[in-house]
Amino acid sequence: MPHLHLESFHPIALPAIEGDVAFDFIATSRGEGKESLIATRFRDREFFVLHKKSGEKDLLKSDKITRPSPNYLIKQALLAYAKHSGIAILDSNVDTAGENVHLKTHDALKSVDFFADNFPTDREVRVEVGFGSARHLLHQALLNPDVLFIGLEIHKPSIEQALKQITIQNLTNIMVLDYDARLFLELIPSNTLSRIYVHFPVPWDKKPHRRVIGDVFVEEALRTLAPQGRLELRTDSENYYRFALETYSHPAYARFEVRKNQEIAIVSKYEDRWKRMEKNIYDVTLINDFESPKKVLEGQFIFNETPINDAILPKLERQTFRREWGFLNTEASFDIREGGWMLRLAMGSFDRPEHLYLIVENGKARYFPTQPVRSSANLKAHILLNELLHG
């Protein structure tokens, strides 16, 4: 991740602008292990630059929760803050190279809001979860020019490499998203997808609850798949293979196929290596036989108009509120400019929580940098938060 090690940290007068980068306010942790979050705007993206102590040095990097793609945005923000404050940089992994022309000229990278507002349904749609090197994603897009492919990946270098190849190969039928696939499925209308590819996911043998494949994911996959649509898992992990067989058996109606060591047209470099090691490769495919009812979610992420009393903050700090549908956790609290404060939140489902910030200024609340994904658990967490904020 791009970062700067500084001789010392110099707060700047805010708001401030340095070139194309704007800094709006600073949020300072109210707990131990002081850290500061600098609200940053660059190219219509809002995110936090994080400052914290690292031994004897001061570290400046991107906040994990709001980190944007591509990395160029983060690099420009870090360099802009250092320049504006006159900070002496001790060491850095931030280069000053210009923006990758392939990333600059292509619009394949989308935000989750793009899909939440108007999911594309005008043609066949397939989703690949964790596309890695993007070999399979690119191959399928070339082979099926009339199909829209949505690639999900959270590894930033993989995203940038995929965008580069999309531009070089002039592919117009791929959209790329940096987002958790388990949350993303909830945004997809019922009976929309023809394929969901999950190729060589992380096995998470010691933390199986973190696996992509799970009961809720399978339930949502069956809802989003059109009749005869397929959820295709490909794995070299014996444990994941057996776990998938069991999970695929849980729905009341299920049909699935199992294949072992089958050749496919395109493979990753890791699969090439595993074949040389004579490891077994398993394909476990779940097939949807039914048309699902339309999914309807009621409610909006709107806060009450009644002003929020700042005295409520101590009652909310570092609290976990568990309910049958999920939870709300106020992980950390921050002081911001006069008349405001901020909470770092984890909310929603136990299996796939959402992480974001809540800003309260002059008695009014808003989420940062965007609203939560519109899922049933998130909507219930929002209702609970609204109630807590108003005592």
Tell whether 259 and 152 lie within a shared domain: yes
Tell whether 314 and 376 lie within a shared domain: yes
Tell whether 163 and 281 lie within a shared domain: yes
Which residues of the chain carry a pLDDT beneath 70? 32-33, 96-106, 269
Tell whether 235 and 169 lie within a shared domain: yes
| CA 60 – CA 177 distance, rounded (Å) | 26
For residue 369, whether the previous peptide bond is cis, meaning omega lies within 30 degrees of 0, is yes
Asked whether residue 294 is domain-assigned, the answer is no
Per-residue pLDDT tens digits for 9-25? 888 999 999 999 999 99
Domain stops at, among 253, 287, 321: 287
Torsion region of 34: left, alpha or beta (phi above 0 gives left; psi -120 to 50 gives alpha)? beta
pLDDT (0 to 100) of residue 96 = 67
| Three-class SS state of 274 | helix
Give the chain's domain count: 3
| Three-class SS state of 385 | helix
pLDDT (0 to 100) of residue 347 = 96
Greatest distance between any 2 Cα atoms in the chain: 65
Tell whether 113 and 86 lie within a shared domain: no
Is the Cα dihedral 139, 140, 144, 148 positive or negative?
negative
User: If you ran DSSP here, which 8-state letter would residue 170 be given?
Assistant: T
Tell whether 272 and 346 lie within a shared domain: no
Asked whether residue 65 is domain-assigned, the answer is yes
pLDDT (0 to 100) of residue 58 = 87
Asked whether residue 296 is domain-assigned, the answer is no
CATH number at residue 273: 3.40.50.150
Asked whether residue 299 is domain-assigned, the answer is no
* Nearest by Cα to 372 from 189, 218, 192, 184: 184
Domain stops at, among 287, 320, 344: 287
Asked whether residue 261 is domain-assigned, the answer is yes
- Quote the tokens at residue 368: 């940062």
Tell whether 242 and 377 lie within a shared domain: no
pLDDT (0 to 100) of residue 1 = 78
pLDDT (0 to 100) of residue 198 = 96
pLDDT (0 to 100) of residue 286 = 96
pLDDT (0 to 100) of residue 97 = 63
Per-residue pLDDT tens digits for 327-337? 999 999 999 98
- Domain of 346 in residue numbering reads as 310-389
Domain stops at, among 252, 287, 322: 287
Q: Are 293 and 269 in contact (CB under 8 A)?
A: no
